Amino acid sequence: MKQGLFRIIENKHLPDTVMQMRLEGDTSAITAPGQFVNILLEGKFLRRPISVCDCEGDVLTLLYKIVGGGTEQMCGMQVGETLDILTGLGNGYDLSMAGDRPLFIGGGVGVPPMYMPAKKLIAEGKDVTVILGFNTAKEVFYKDEFEALGAKVYVTTVDGSEGIKGFVTDAMMEIDYTYFYTCGPEPMLKAVWRASATQGQFSFEERMGCGFGACMGCSCKTLTGYKRICKEGPVMKKEEILWQN
């Protein structure tokens, strides 16, 4: 973990209520795709955790959805402003298990952390497929960016207004994959867990107090013992997940 000041170089709207923020700063603590950062906002007691979408050189890319006071505050920030950010949080994805045909499954705000690992595996020559799940066509984002990497992209929408009508699990049935990586709301993760034909890794969302394991506020029970989502997670392997009723 490292604390540093990052300068905003872009903060723009994507479709619906999603924003893309790019910042310059010391990214050396970001060592694995799937990690997250924790942002200090003026007037807010707790930092805001945001998944890393991409990290290249000293440029950090974050995608965030405007859902409350903190993200509304971020939305109004201008190029040149600085943010106090903790970087290198969480364990991230283990890409060594991907095999030749990895599958990435992102639902809604779970789409951003799929980008960096997909990019890395494509650079290694892997045959990458991506499923992006949304409720409706107006919510779809980053489809073009994944295709520009060279990934085969499936879009699912609940109302059928774009791509496959239904859920990400409907698209999974059409794909031959060696391993999967996923992030999204818990109902989606449970459905992927049940539908998956191979082992894989899941990234979980949780309310976090500190973001680096000190407060124990985001602890959850797994088949291999208690784990802190912010420290030993947010990524867990399929075989260790214990779903709570």
Contact 163, 173 (CB under 8 A): no
72 and 105 together in one domain: no
Among 45, 69, 89, residue at a domain's last position: 89
Q: What is the pTM of this model?
A: 0.94
Three-state DSSP class for residue 209: coil
Cα distances (Å, whole numbers) of residue 142 to 11, 14, 68, 79, 183: 15, 9, 22, 22, 15
Among 69, 89, 109, residue at a domain's last position: 89
List of residues 6+ apart from 175 with CB closer than 8 A: 103, 129, 131, 154
List the one residue out of 192, 190, 202, 200 whose CA is nearest residue 235. 202
In terms of DSSP bridges, do strands 59-65 and 219-222 run parallel, antiparallel, or are they unpaired?
Answer: unpaired
99 and 188 together in one domain: yes
Note the pLDDT of residue 245.
60
Q: Going residue by residue through the chain (245 aa), what tens digit of pLDDT does each one get?
A: 899 999 999 999 998 899 999 999 999 999 999 999 999 999 988 899 999 999 999 999 999 999 989 999 999 999 999 999 999 999 999 999 999 999 999 999 999 999 999 999 999 999 999 999 999 999 999 999 999 999 999 999 999 999 999 999 999 998 999 999 999 999 999 999 999 989 999 998 766 666 666 666 667 778 878 778 777 768 999 999 888 76
- List residues bridging with 50 in a β-sheet: 37
Contact 55, 30 (CB under 8 A): yes
Note the pLDDT of residue 145.
98
Domain that holds residue 71: 2-89
Note the pLDDT of residue 223.
80
132 and 198 together in one domain: yes
Any domain includes 212: no
- Structural domains in the chain (count): 2
Amino acid at residue number 49: P
